[in-house]
Every structure is written in C-alpha cells, then in structure tokens.
Amino acid sequence: MKIKKQIISRKEHSVSRDAISDNALKVLYRLKDAGYQAYLVGGGVRDLLLGKKPKDFDVATDAHPDDVKRLFRNCRLIGRRFRLAHILYGRDVIEVATFRGPHEGNSPNHAGQNKEGRIIRDNVYGSLEEDALRRDFSINALYYNIRDDSIIDFTGGMDDLHNKMLRMIGDVDTRYREDPVRMLRAVRFAAKLNFQMDQQTNDLIFDLGHLLEDIPVARLFDETIKLFQGGYGLRCFQLLREYQLFELLFPMTEASINSTEHQGRTLRLIEQALSNTDERIASGKSVNPAFFLAVLLWYPMHEYKNHFIEHGEHEIEALLSASREAITRQQAHTSIPKRFSLMMREIWHMQPQLQHPTRKRAMRTLLNKRFRAGYDFLLLRNETGETELESWCAWWTDIQTKNKSEQESMCENLGKGQKKPRRQNKRRHSKTGRQNTPHPAGNAKNAANSSVSSE
C-alpha cells in the first residue's frame, strides 16, 4: 500500500483535550514528560473525530513495557501474545502499547506465525509508522500527538473517516489470515459506525470466515460480548448473518433460525432481545450477557429437551439435561464462563414455574434472586409468539405490585379451580437416548465429541 504521512494540525481537526479523559491525559503527560513519544490512538481518536463518546482510551508509545511499569505505580503488565501495560485508576483502565514492528524474519521468541499465517506472538517493537501499519483499519490508525495536538495519519484514515469507509490496512488476505478475529471486528465497526467496507475488506470475509474456527473459544466469547453487548447488537447480529459468520459462532442457533419448527420465533426472540439490549445500553442501564446467551440457546435447548422427552425423560429432568447439553455443545464454539452458564440455567429452569406457578412454589420463585431475569425472559417469550403465556405474564406483573400479604393470598389461590398442568408420560429414561444426542436441528461442529456434559 502507498504510505503517505500526513500531519493534521490542531486547527484542522476536531479533537480537543477537553474531550479526553483525565486519566488518559495523565498517562500521556507522564510519558511525554519522561521524554517518550505518547499518542492517543484507536477508538479514542476515531470516535472523538466522529463526535462520539469513546468507550475507552488507548495509548501508544515508544517506551518499552518495562519502562512504562517503572513510570507508573498503578501499572500491570498483561498478555503474552501482545505484551501491554494497563494503567489502573480504580475501574478505569488506560491501555498503553509499545509501538509494534513487522514480525517477518524476527526472532521466534518475540514474534511468530503459525503455518496458516496466524500471528501467535507479537512482541517485536518498532517505529510509529510501523505501528500504524500493524493496526487493523485505517480509521483505527490515527495518532493524536500530545506534544502539539496534531493528528498523524499514515494510511488515509482521515479520508476514510470522512467517506464512512472501513478499510483494512495492507493486503487484506494476509491481514485476515494473521488474525481472523479482524473479520468480527470489521462487522462490529461497520455496524457501530454505519460504515461501508471497501470491496476487499468486504469480499474476503466470505472466503476466509471459516478461519475463525481455529481461534481459541475464549477469545471468540470475548468478541461475541463486544458484538452483542456494545450498544449496536441488533445491527451486528444482522451483519454477522449476512457475512455468514454467525453460523460459525452459534451453529445450533443458526440451525434453529432456519428450521421450520418454531415458526420464526427463534429469530424474533433474538431480534427483540437485542433491540431491548441496545435500548437499555443507550439509556445507561446495565445488561447481563447471560440473559442474551439464554435467549440465543433457548430454542436449541428446547429441541434437546423434546429429544430427551421422546427418550422417556420427565419434563423437568429433560429440561435439566437439555440445558447442560446445549451449553456444553456451544462451548465448542465460544466458551461460556461458569458465572454466565449458571445464570442461563437459572433463567431456563425458572420458566416452568413461571408458566405454571403452583401454590407451593410461586412465592419462592418470586423471591428467587434471578426472578427479574426469569420474568423478563417469560415476557420476551410471550411477546415473540409463544402461546399460552399471556395470562401468566399478567399474573406475575400484577403480583409484583402487591404487598406481602396480598402476594401470599395470590399464591394461596393458585390451583383453586384450575386443572393441574398435564404431566408428560413418564417412561424410564433410556441411557442410550442420552448419549451422543445429535442436535435435533442438525449440524454442530464437534457433535460427536460433546455427548452429555460433564459439568
């Protein structure tokens, strides 16, 4: 690619120091005062130029990580693949990265690629210009110089920002192979910024998407959270499906979306949940990834549940087995940390009690620490077309407005004059039915090796 260094002076751009967080400024000043180069880079500069509030501030410097550690008492060095310094101010973290250089031909101790061209270590330091060329997109490679408030652009990032264009720096094929997660990042930025991808950045995703299958599942989980919980989840989801990447991350969910069994409800449930999540984030409310993961896997889990029931398990027993099964199989594609998988199960396991509350257990359900999540989940199921939930949604909504004794009497009245919920026919569960259960909607990478969870 043609490299043309451009310096945009303070007068010619819209980034002002006032918009940069105090902590980021502190880091920049301290580095500068110690004689190092110090730049704000990445999303911080990009978002400020676009008039958006940056999510976080990243700093690039020629100081080595050990030098950074010496300068800041509140510094942690992290990462093996990329050695980075985190400067901690309470919960606010400023990430400081030493300029990276090209990895070809370097000592295997510092940089390395595997045989598919994927970078497995990246700790070779370089110049500012080299650092720019190692970044992903031109709009992410703009450097705000704390010395004179200018912005340095080596890759045409300013023009691309102006033209709403997402362009991979360098040879797109090589850059996607070096780190296939860049494809997910491309989708995320296209969704968040409402930018078009340039042709190669766009087209090669279709050819190289499959490389994501070799990425560690924990990293894919982190990216998934950024995609769905970053405030632009619905658009990210739609784009991931357009680029045929969603099926690589959540194959069971994609199969369920495409199956005729749920009459479009899988898609409606996901889209509604994402639209609610985006709204919550826009109004500053918190979101819990477990809720959305429970949404994504609800219908796939259901298909397992039906399968277990067909093999003689009782309804509740089948729900427990199916929850384990769906989560274990998903973990072959994106990990799910235990704290989230526990909550997903709690949400799912509460559903039978919410849709058929009984006198004995309704009060306990109401007092469950996950009640709110379980109840929201029930409302969402109802809203997106599951039948026979309407009156129970109203009942649970109503009970929350009552005082303690009214609540108790509402629970007492349950079951009076009502038919007991019909029980599934209770055959002994067959061991063979539980092992190696194929996903009823087909597919799933590693279908053969995940059998029933050992969690």
Q: How near is the Cβ of 378 to ligand ATP at its closest, in Å?
A: 33
Find the binder of ligand ATP among 49, 85, 165, 181 (CB under 6 A). Answer: 181
- Catalytic choice (47, 136, 160, 278): 136
Q: Which is nearer to Mg ion, 42 or 357 (CB)?
A: 42
Coil, strand or helix: which one is 119? strand
Asked if residue 136 binds ligand ATP (CB under 6 A), the reply is: yes
18 is annotated as an active-site residue: no
136 contacts 169 by C-beta, under 8 angstroms: yes
Which stretch in 134-142, 238-246, 322-330, 390-398 sits in contact with ligand ATP by CB under 6 A? 134-142
Q: Which is nearer to ligand ATP, 141 or 347 (CB)?
A: 141
56 is annotated as an active-site residue: yes
Rounded Cα distance between 255 and 257, Å, is: 5
| Residues 135, 140, 146: CA angle, nearest 5 degrees | 100
Rounded Cα distance between 171 and 181, Å, is: 16
Asked if residue 153 binds ligand ATP (CB under 6 A), the reply is: no
173 is annotated as an active-site residue: no
| Residues 370, 371, 377: CA angle, nearest 5 degrees | 95
Contacts with Mg ion by CB under 5 A lie at 42-43, 56, 58
Q: How near is the Cβ of 96 to ligand ATP at its closest, in Å?
A: 11
**Residue 103: closest CA among 81, 86, 78, 85:** 81
Q: How many residues form the binding site for ligand ATP (CB under 6 A)? A: 12
The residue type found at 33 is: D
Q: How near is the Cβ of 248 to ligand ATP at its closest, in Å?
A: 17
172 contacts 140 by C-beta, under 8 angstroms: no
- Catalytic choice (56, 67, 198, 376): 56
Asked if residue 180 binds ligand ATP (CB under 6 A), the reply is: no
Q: Which is nearer to ligand ATP, 100 or 324 (CB)?
A: 100
Rounded Cα distance between 178 and 69, Å, is: 29
User: How many angstroms separate the first and last alpha carbons of the chain?
Assistant: 50
Asked if residue 131 binds ligand ATP (CB under 6 A), the reply is: no
CA atoms within 13 A on the CB side of 300: 29
Q: What tokens appear for 365 in the block?
A: 């359900």
Active-site annotation, residues = 56, 58, 136
Binding residues for ligand ATP, rule: CB under 6 A, are: 42-43, 55-56, 58, 135-136, 140-141, 179, 181-182
